[in-house]
Amino acid sequence: MERKKVTGKRAISKLVLYALHIILIIVVFLPLIFAFTSSFRPLEDLYRYVSPLTWKTFIPIKVTLDAYVSIFAEGYGTALLNSLFIAGVTVALGILLNGMAGYVFAKYNFRGKNILFFLVLLSYMVPFELLSVNLYDLIIKLDWVDTYKALIIPCIGNGMIIFLFRQYYLSFPDYLLEAARIDGMGHFAIFFRIVLPNSKAISISAGLVLFVNQWESFLWPVLVTRSKELYTVQLALSNFSTQYTKNWDQIFAGSIIAFLLPVAIIMPLQRFFAAGLTSSGIKE
Amino acid sequence: MKKRSVLLLTMCMVVMTAGCASGGSDAQNPDNSESGDELNVLIVSDLDPLEPVFAEYGDKNGITVNVESVPYAEIFETIEVRMGTEEDTIDVLVADAPLITNYTAKGYLAPLDDYVAEDSLARITESSREGGTVDGQVMALPLYSSCVNLYYNKELFDERGVEYPDYNVENRMTWEEVVETAQQLTYTDDEGNQIYGMTFEQIDTPYQLLPLSQSLGAVQYISDDQTTTEGYTNSEEVVEAMEFYGNTFNKWNISPKIDGSESTSYFCSGQIAMFVGGSWNISSFDEAGVNWGVAPHPYFEGGDAVTPTGSWYMGVSAYSKNAEAAAGFVEWLTTDDETCQKTYDIMQNLPCNISVLDAIEADPENEGTPAALNVYEAMNTAMARPGMVGYEEWQSVLQKTYSDVKNGADPKEALDSAVTEIDSLIEKYQK
Amino acid sequence: MRRKNLVVTVFLLPAMALIIIFKIYPIFLGVYESFFTYSFVGKNTVFAGIQNYITVFTDSTVLNSIKVTLIFNVIVNPVQIFLSFGLALLLMVKLRGRKFFRTIHMIPVAVSFTIACTLWGVLLSPEQGLMNSLLNVIGIPNQSFLNDKDQALAWVIVLSSWKGLGYWALFFITGLEEVPQQLYEAASLDGANYWKSLRWITLPQMKRTFKFVIISDTISNFILFVPAYVLTGGGPNGATDFLMYRIYRTAYQYSDMNLASAMIVVLLIMLGIIIGAEAFLLRDKE
């Protein structure tokens, strides 16, 4: 009797949770649905069926892939590959270098630590767009204009990522490090063989931040690139608008690809989230 | 242990170097080139179709013309940052007509008087030449101009049994007539779609809305000494024009409260009967299969017929090490009869070159088209935006004000506060 | 000891060098520039003392921007932190399809802010936006949304939360996954229910994650300007004229880098005080 009551309660709470999920999914998709269906519509149909609300609002009547074909004809593919490369290198180096710094901030004491950490926080209080002028001057002096270097290197060091790793490593069990030290492992070996392999989930979060930062940046690439070969996704997207017109079908199609691609990359990484320190059973 | 860290650092270096090597773009980097016979041209990507024309100049003169094109959304920031650092890697740059005065004040542009022949200047229209002249010096030359007409959707007119607007400039519609006609054309169709009588194309922009106050007699928007807009930008005429603009949305409800970027799509999908906009939209209309007609830009009853004008100009960077060659290129590109004809053939925008304008007018095929109408307007009704040092400040504050009035703010109050804001923003130019 | 110093140097050097060269150095150049002004008459840059700072604190439009930024942050930060933690808890519940749900919430993270704003702009179009069509169905007349000075800021909060919730929830999830399972098992043996475990186990264990999310969220909302840049232009009537957007315009549109620099310094000081307070309240007591 008692048991039945509990399962009944559980079923109800499960129902509530699923309902909540469905509402959230609707909220997530609400702004996207119009772009998605519109990207398959011919230009003249874009706004025709928005109001009043009918099934035609959500399902294109005349389906066309014109928008997708035309953006790739205009070099959107190159822009995607460029952005993937830039973001990929930034993520790889960013996780490693910022992770090392975060680890030191969490686990070592040294002179000047507080000042340096203050600089870390300061560095992410000003957005990249506003550093552009002085930074651009620097890039000219370094003669990095129109190279991948200019797009990648200034974006690797990231205060937020260092802060993220520091917060994580603060809770990293000291006894594990101690045990490794007793086993005769050096500082470097401990970091690369013990600490880093146990930082998968946090590294993915960090990688995502770095990836998104690069994926989103729009003013910086314009300033430091010259040739179309270095076009990035956001640049290609803003190229679908001219002074007078916005090619909405192209903008929608380009946007859909621009966010589905990162999601497709993130999806398989999900499993690492459940496989943090806890499941390896080494947490204190 | 030390070895490992060295290895790591080397690895980083390798990845970084690999990153830039694989760019393969160093070869195209103008900085690395030894030859002096190069011109670096910064354009907005709207002008990309003109690249063959640019290249032709290079072929003819044995010069390499490197074109860098930046999307419209980022062009102004790009010019600010790159000219602000006084770099010499730009020889020729585009400038939006009303910004020429500002760029001159900031020292971005080199005067062209010493390089450009009188004959060449005589080949373009006077109003377009004046648009590039600051304090008597030619600072930039026009690539082409622009004009605005009244486009209408014939099907919607037929459906409501309303007579089409007349193409003849003698029978130019007044704004009062436009409102009356638009009210008949604002309705809900059988499928429940809301149809609107009219819209401006570039909603909220001074480019399109200045002719309203100019038609009422406003001529000046800032004092002669460029210190204050008080009494000018909020003059009686401007307030009255602003009231008209607000009424189209809030009193007569003949215009949809949309954004400038949506207006063309609305007209293309048959939701707007009259579209006050530029001829650059025609290809979109045709693509969407709109059965459209064209009529002259309206004016206020008892006022003057005034149309917007001005588009991209080309100037020579003050920091260019190759100013003479750059000026030669600009001269050829903007004034040479043959080049201007080619530019017109590609872009189909209203030319500034007199011989091309004459050719359009003379061509019987152009009768009844926007092209012929625009030639007339360019010669008779075009009125440039005010050239002022603080144009960017003025335009951005005014644009916000238009938008606020569209959303129901009181025109007089909105303009008064706009004037105060503009005046404080342009104070810096007196220092 | 020497080995330790070497470790500190080698681990810290690459990241710190990059940060100092590409972030801190430009910031300090900006601080320096904030004491100068460009003279259009003399065509040169001259020392201006604290003139730019006086402008910042006397110009009514700048003061309005500061006010808008503060109001926005007082509302948006608690809302985002509370909701994203709630979302993280929801996504931790073992349900069939959990991976799918988690993936869904990664979509807004991957949509760039510029695109997100464009799409929300289309959704909230006062004339024929989908949102108005939906509202019409339940009998609410057309709304102006971002064009209404009383609603605009609220909608900016909504759309930036749409974009931000999945992002911040991700960090909470990472933190929640690290809370030792044994603690919950022990607590449930003691008869603690879900909410009691949340209060007495989860929250204390999540303190460091909270500190990270609260500080990072505050920073990112303080320097947010894309919604104003893409959608509202700071309007209507200055209702969404964030300080950062005014700085952006002052620098690139009104070409006054020096005044913009002074505004950045003021913003940094305000931000510094606020996150300093947050860090103090959430400090590790050990």
Query: Mean pLDDT in chain C?
Result: 90
Nearest to C18 among A126, A129, A153 (CB): A153
- Reported as a single tens digit per residue, the pLDDT across C78-89 is 999 999 999 999
Options 3.40.710.10, 3.40.50.300, 1.10.3720.10, 3.30.365.10; which CATH number does A74-278 get?
Answer: 1.10.3720.10
Taking an 8 Å cut-off on Cβ atoms, the answer to whether B72 and A45 are in contact is: no
pLDDT at B5: 44
Model confidence at C126: pLDDT above 70: yes
Model confidence at C123: pLDDT above 80: yes
Query: Residue B3: its chain A contacts at CB < 8 A?
Result: none
**Does residue B148 sit in helix, strand or coil?**
strand
Sign of CA dihedral B265, B269, B275, B277: positive
**Distance between C125 CA and the closest CA of chain A, angstroms:** 11
Nearest to A263 among C107, C171, C180 (CB): C107
Taking an 8 Å cut-off on Cβ atoms, the answer to whether C244 and A52 are in contact is: no
pLDDT at B85: 84
Question: What is the residue-level pLDDT of chain B in tens, covering all 431 positions?
Answer: 344 444 444 444 444 444 443 443 333 444 434 445 899 999 998 899 999 999 999 999 999 999 999 988 889 888 988 898 888 889 999 999 989 999 998 899 999 999 999 999 999 998 899 889 998 999 999 999 999 999 999 999 999 999 999 999 999 999 999 999 999 999 998 887 889 999 999 999 999 999 999 999 998 999 998 899 999 999 999 999 999 999 999 999 999 988 888 898 889 989 999 999 998 899 889 988 999 999 999 999 999 999 999 899 999 999 999 999 999 999 999 999 999 999 999 988 899 999 999 999 899 999 889 999 999 998 899 988 888 889 989 998 999 999 999 988 999 999 999 999 999 899 888 87
Helices (H), C34-149: 51-58, 60-92, 98-104, 107-110, 113-123, 130-137
Examine the domain organization and report whether B157 and B190 are in the same domain.
yes
Domain that holds residue B134: 2-145+310-375
pLDDT at A51: 65
Query: Residue C257: its chain B contacts at CB < 8 A?
Result: 84
Taking an 8 Å cut-off on Cβ atoms, the answer to whether B102 and C255 are in contact is: yes
Examine the domain organization and report whether B217 and B324 are in the same domain.
no
User: Beta strand B148-153 with B272-278: parallel, antiparallel or unpaired?
Assistant: antiparallel
CA distances A51 to C71, C101, C116, C125, Å, are 34, 30, 22, 11
- Evaluate whether B246 touches B407 at the Cβ level (below 8 Å): no
ipTM of this complex prediction, to 2 decimal places: 0.90
Domains identified in chain B, total number: 2
H-run or E-run covering B275: strand B272-278
pLDDT at B31: 42
- C108-127 residues touching B, CB cutoff 8 A: 121, 125-127
**Distance between A276 CA and the closest CA of chain C, angstroms:** 6
Which of the residues B81, B272, B281 would you substitute to probe the A interface, choosing the one with the greatest number of A C-beta atoms within 10 Å? B81
pLDDT at B238: 96
Examine the domain organization and report whether B80 and B128 are in the same domain.
yes
pLDDT at B108: 94
How many CB contacts within 8 angstroms connect chain A with chain C? 266
Query: Residue A168: its chain C contacts at CB < 8 A?
Result: 174, 178, 208
Beta-carbon count within 10 A of A153 CB = 22
Which of the residues A34, A86, A148, A151 would you substitute to probe the B interface, choosing the one with the greatest number of B C-beta atoms within 10 Å? A148
Which of the residues B3, B74, B143, B193 would you substitute to probe the A interface, choosing the one with the greatest number of A C-beta atoms within 10 Å? B74
Closest CA to C227 of C129, C123, C146: C146
The whole-angstrom separation of Cα B27 and Cα B226 is 47
Nearest to B403 among C43, C233, C249 (CB): C233
Percent of chain C scoring above 90 in pLDDT: 51
Nearest to B265 among A46, A143, A144 (CB): A46
Residue B380 domain-assigned (yes or no) = no
The domain locations on chain A are 2-68, 74-278
- Evaluate whether B179 touches B371 at the Cβ level (below 8 Å): no
Question: Considering all CA atoms of chain C, what is the largest pairwise distance in Å, rounded to the nearest integer?
Answer: 80
- Evaluate whether A120 touches A224 at the Cβ level (below 8 Å): no
- Whether chain C has a CB inside 8 Å of the CB on A208: the answer is yes
- Evaluate whether B100 touches B106 at the Cβ level (below 8 Å): no
Q: Which CATH architecture has domain C54-281?
A: Orthogonal Bundle (1.10)
How many CB contacts within 8 angstroms connect chain B with chain C? 81
Q: Give the CA count within 13 Å in the CB-facing half-sphere of B412.
A: 1
- Whether chain A has a CB inside 8 Å of the CB on C18: the answer is yes
CATH number at residue B345: 3.40.190.10
Taking an 8 Å cut-off on Cβ atoms, the answer to whether B80 and C255 are in contact is: yes
The domain locations on chain C are 54-281
The whole-angstrom separation of Cα A144 and Cα A149 is 6
The partner residues of B293 in beta bridges, in order of sequence, read B152
pLDDT at A223: 85
Model confidence at C278: pLDDT above 90: yes
Q: How many helices and strands in chain C, by DSSP H and E?
A: 16, 2
Token code pair at residue C261: 């620099």
- A43-102 residues touching B, CB cutoff 8 A: 43-48, 51-52, 85, 89, 92-93, 96-97
The whole-angstrom separation of Cα B5 and Cα A284 is 30
Residues in chain A predicted with pLDDT less than 70, given as ranges, are 1-7, 44, 47-48, 50-52, 272-284
- Whether chain C has a CB inside 8 Å of the CB on A95: the answer is no
Query: Residue B400: its chain C contacts at CB < 8 A?
Result: 233-235
- Whether chain B has a CB inside 8 Å of the CB on C142: the answer is no
